[in-house]
Structures are given as C-alpha cells and as structure tokens.
Amino acid sequence: MSAYIALADGRVVEGRSRAPGTGRGELVFTTAYTGYEESLTDPSYAEQALTFSYPLIGNYGVREERFESDSVQPRVAVAHEFTDDVADWLEREGIPAIDAVDTRDLVTSIREQGAMRCGVAAGPDATPEQAKAQLEQCVEMSEHTDIGAQVSVDEPQVYEGNGLTVALLDCGAKQSIVDSLTARDAEVHVLPYDSTPEEVAAVEPDLVFVSNGPGDPANFEAAGEVVDEFAGELPIAGICLGQQVVARSLGGETEKMEFGHRGLNQPVRDLETDRVIMTTQNHGYSVADPGELAVTQVNVNDGTAEGLEGVGIDVITRQYHPEANPGPHDSLDFFDDVLEMAENHAPAVASD
Ligand SMILES: NC(=O)CC[C@H](N)C(=O)O
C-alpha cells in the first residue's frame, strides 16, 4: 500500500503505508533509539509529524504502562521500518504511519532546511495530490494558538501525597513528571494550562511547576501570568516549555530553532560544577535571552540555555527532560533540588 509525504520544499517522498489515513504537521526528527512508546505519547509532539532516525521502531512491543499520556500525540509517524505491533497501534489510534522511507535523506533535508511543514496520505487509495492538499492546510507551529487546550486537563486532578503541595500547570505534561513528584511524596495538583493566579493560589501550593508542552511558548500566556504573579513569593520550577514560559514571563525571550533537539544523548554542561550529563530532549524553541534569570547549564553542542536559576528568587528550570522516559537518568536529582528549594522557601509553609 502506498504512502506519500508532501514536503514544504516541494518534494513528494514515497513510502509504504503501515497505518492508513491523511494528516499534516511540522516534520521533525528524533534520534532516540529506544523509547518509541514514550515519544509517541509525549504531548509535546502535538501537531508534529515525527520521523525516527533509528531504523527499526517497535522491536520490544507496545505496553501501556510506558505511555506518557493516553493517546498518540504526533499527527503522523515516519520510520525506516515499523514492526507490526507499532503499526497496529498507530492504526487503532487513527494516526497515519509510513515506513520504507529513506529516513537518512529526510533527516538531512530537515537539518539543512529546518523543521518544515508536511502533508501525508497513506493507504490503498492514497495519492500524491491528497498529500499535497494536506500540506496546503498545514500551518506553522506558532499559528496553533489553541494548542494548550488540545493537551491539558479540563478539570484539576489531584494526586495525594504527604509531602509538599505542587501546583503543576499542565501545558501537556508527561505522566513521568507527575510520577517523579509523587515518588518524592509530593501532593500534585494538575491544573489546566489556563488556570488563573487565583485558581493556583486556591490549592495553597509550596511550589508552582510549569510542565512541558507542544508548540510555541508564546501561546501559553496564562501560564506566564501565573509565573509573573508568584515569582519571588513562591518557588517556581519548569521543564522544557516550562523553562521557556518562565523565562518569557521574567523578562526573557524565546526563539525558534532551526530543527531543534530531539533525542536521548544531548550533552549538557553545568557551569558551576563543570560536569557534563547526558539528557533527553524534545524541543524546537529555545531561550535566547534569560531575562532576570541566570543561565546555569548550557548545551555542549550549540551553547543554548539548558538550565536557568533565579537571582535572589527561588526559580529553577530545565530545557531538557530530567524525568527521562525515554532516556538517561543523569538528571533525576532535579526533582530533589526543586522540592528542597520549596522546603527551604521560608514563607511557603504555613504554621497555622
Ligand atoms: N518538550 C517540550 O516541552 C517542548 C517545548 C516547546 N514546544 C518546543 O518545541 O520547544
């Protein structure tokens, strides 16, 4: 069965349909060699077409306990070869999947021209024209202004715990972030991405935590207002989109990267200890100006900001994914550090 990927550069790439349908999104690639279940369920991939550069995807099956959310998040999946397990899963989820593609060539195009819009058509009756029609409807990432609503909870959800209370602004949070906090006894209130400062204050948090999420951080204004309201008063943490939202709110700026960082072996140097750790990443924007915050960690490959900290205020953020899933566990201590910051933040814990 045939499949077509129409690229914004005018090319149409032919492959084999492994799950039928049409779709569109920003074509990006990940170099992750494991963790396809986690990547395919990571809400940060919403509105994207995900290409795996690793040639065989699916060789250890599909197990729900490894999912980061309850559905497949990219709009399209592309690989050199998908196993039947993964192809069947994507078909059940209605996500077009295409393999038998020269992914080395596709990745080279993305590296040279940047992440680009694409449209796909896959299945017995698929035609290049259908793929091109999808491409025509495909908008730039920053134009998905309602993307938060697609991935956030509608109503607050509470994970009970005996420790500190965390208000987690769910901009498309991975389950592992919640799990990393509850594993450290925190009571986690997962709040809608557009919660007001009053709604956040109502849970009496010891820590405000802005999650990862898809698309342009400029489209998460409400989360920025929460940060603006509480910075200096309550400790603040952020991961990935969370770092970007926090930086923007505190006088910084973000910019779109050429093709982003997506993989499991991005080296990050801590400027204080000079130690290098391997990190999991999945982002297409970066913090170009940290505003009031100090850059404490940088990417060894391109020098982009990987960690930010407050100067005189309790803020710690990371551009990479300390929760891993998939990927290395080098930076799990981030969760200990932010909870310690919250524990030591003098006015946060009421003494009746
Ligand atoms: N994983 C994330 O949180 C991604 C953040 C943002 N959507 C980006 O692409 O940069």
Q: Dump pLDDT digits (tens) for 138-175.
A: 999 999 999 999 999 999 999 999 999 999 999 999 99
pLDDT, residue 348, reads 43
pLDDT, residue 350, reads 47
Q: Is 287 left (phi over 0), alpha (psi -120 to 50) or beta?
A: beta
Please report which confidence band the pLDDT of residue 346 belongs to, taking 50, 70 and 90 as the band edges: confident
Quick check: CB of 282 below 6 Å from ligand 1? yes
User: Is residue 349 scored above 60 in pLDDT?
Assistant: no
Quick check: CB of 240 below 6 Å from ligand 1? yes
Q: Per-residue DSSP letters for 179-219?
A: HHHHTTT-EEEEEETT--HHHHHTT--SEEEE---SS-GGG
Which residues in the chain are classed under CATH 3.40.50.880?
147-348
Q: Tell me how crowded residue 2 is: count the other CB atoms within 10 A of its CB.
A: 17
CATH classification of 2-139, choosing from 3.50.30.20, 3.40.1350.10, 3.40.50.150, 3.20.20.140? 3.50.30.20
Which residues in the chain are classed under CATH 3.50.30.20?
2-139
pLDDT, residue 347, reads 62
Quick check: CB of 262 below 6 Å from ligand 1? no
Cα separation, 95 vs 90, whole angstroms = 5
Per the prediction, the chain carries an average pLDDT of 97
Cβ atoms of residues 5 and 98 within 8 Å: yes
Ligand 1: which atom is nearest the Cα of residue 254? 10
Closest by CA to 268, choosing from 255, 253, 281, 250, is 281
What are the pLDDT digits (tens) for 82-107? 999 999 999 999 999 999 999 999 99
The annotation status of 241 as a binding-site residue, yes or no, is yes
Local structure of residue 325 (DSSP, 8 states)? S
Quick check: CB of 171 below 6 Å from ligand 1? no
Quick check: CB of 254 below 6 Å from ligand 1? no
Ligand 1: which atom is nearest the Cα of residue 212? 3
Ligand 1 centroid–CA 126 distance in Å is 32
What are the pLDDT digits (tens) for 285-339? 999 999 999 999 999 999 999 999 999 999 999 999 999 999 999 999 999 999 9
Taking the CA atoms of 228, 230, 233 and 236 in sequence, report the sign of the dihedral they define: negative
User: Is residue 239 scored above 60 in pLDDT?
Assistant: yes
What's the fold here for domain 147-348? Rossmann fold (3.40.50)
Ligand 1 centroid–CA 62 distance in Å is 24
Residue 273 φ/ψ, nearest 5 degrees: -90, -15
Structure tokens at 308: 């930010």
Longest dimension (CA), the chain: 68
Average pLDDT over residues 257-261: 98
Helix-helix angle 333-344:175-182, to 10 degrees? 60
The annotation status of 282 as a binding-site residue, yes or no, is yes
Cα separation, 217 vs 253, whole angstroms = 10
Q: Which residues are catalytic?
A: 240, 321, 323
- Percent of the chain residues topping a pLDDT of 70: 98
What are the pLDDT digits (tens) for 188-233? 999 999 999 999 999 999 999 999 999 999 999 999 999 999 999 9
Residue 145 φ/ψ, nearest 5 degrees: -70, -20
What are the pLDDT digits (tens) for 102-126? 999 999 999 999 999 999 999 999 9
Average pLDDT over residues 240-244: 99
The annotation status of 213 as a binding-site residue, yes or no, is yes
Quick check: CB of 319 below 6 Å from ligand 1? no
Ligand 1 centroid–CA 129 distance in Å is 31
pLDDT, residue 323, reads 98
pLDDT, residue 151, reads 98
Cβ atoms of residues 241 and 268 within 8 Å: no
Unique residue bearing structure tokens 């995900």? 50
Ligand 1 centroid–CA 261 distance in Å is 10
pTM: 0.97
